């Protein structure tokens, strides 16, 4: 089984261990992939993983061995031509609901920072320091 990650840098700026993925089969991980390089890099690939690299109908038509596309983000219809994948019976999945607790926590933290002038160190937002 051949696995290709088209844009690994978007997921791993250097602190992620790819070994669990590499244990599943032959694995090629690219930091970034231009639209012109997709087909060459994904030839004879069973599994294609992407985050932001767009896969068009034209790309998918040139990848006859492709069986699965994993979008490593919450959405997928902005990255993969879903109709073309469905026609070819290529399974497409995403990472639904990841980070929901962290996002909510960040929102409330920013509300507190803004409403309580935490960064400025004063309730008035630091005007007396201007």
Long-range contacts made by residues 74-79, C-beta under 8 angstroms, separation at least 24? 74/98, 78/54, 79/50, 79/51, 79/52, 79/53, 79/54, 79/55
Q: What is the mean pLDDT of residues 72-77?
A: 80
Looking at residue 108, what is its pLDDT? Answer: 87
What is this structure's pTM?
0.76
H-helix segments, 43-99: 57-61, 82-87
Q: Which two tokens stand for residue 4?
A: 């290709």
Looking at residue 123, what is its pLDDT? Answer: 54
For 7, the 3-state DSSP assignment is coil
Query: What confidence tens digit (pLDDT) does each residue in 10-66 have?
Result: 878 778 889 999 999 999 999 999 999 999 999 999 999 999 999 999 999 999 999
Strand 68-71 with 91-93, pairing:
parallel
Q: How long, in residues, is the chain?
A: 130
Query: What confidence tens digit (pLDDT) does each residue in 82-123 have?
Result: 999 999 999 999 987 777 787 888 888 888 888 877 666 555
Distance CA 66, CA 44 (A): 7
Kindly indicate the confidence band of residue 75, based on its pLDDT and cuts at 50, 70 and 90. confident
**In the block, which residue shows the tokens 């985050």?**
51
Distance CA 82, CA 56 (A): 9
Distance CA 103, CA 120 (A): 23
Query: What are the Cα distances from residue 120, in Å, to 30, 65, 108, 110, 125?
Result: 42, 57, 17, 13, 6
What domains can be seen in the chain, in order of their start residue?
2-93 (3.40.50.720), 100-129 (no CATH)
Looking at residue 130, what is its pLDDT? Answer: 42
């Amino acid at each position: 089984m051949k696995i290709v990650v088209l844009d690994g840098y978007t997921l791993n700026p250097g602190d992620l261990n790819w070994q669990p993925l590499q244990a599943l089969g032959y694995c090629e991980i690219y930091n970034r992939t231009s639209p012109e390089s997709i087909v060459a890099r994904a030839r004879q690939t069973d599994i294609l993983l992407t985050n932001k690299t767009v896969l068009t109908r034209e790309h998918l038509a040139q990848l006859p061995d492709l069986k699965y596309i994993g979008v490593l983000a919450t959405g997928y219809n902005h990255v993969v031509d879903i109709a073309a994948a469905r026609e070819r019976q290529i399974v497409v999945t995403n990472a639904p609901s990841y980070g929901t607790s962290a996002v909510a926590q960040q929102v409330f933290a920013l509300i507190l920072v803004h409403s309580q002038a935490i960064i400025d160190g004063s309730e008035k937002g630091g005007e007396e320091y201007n």
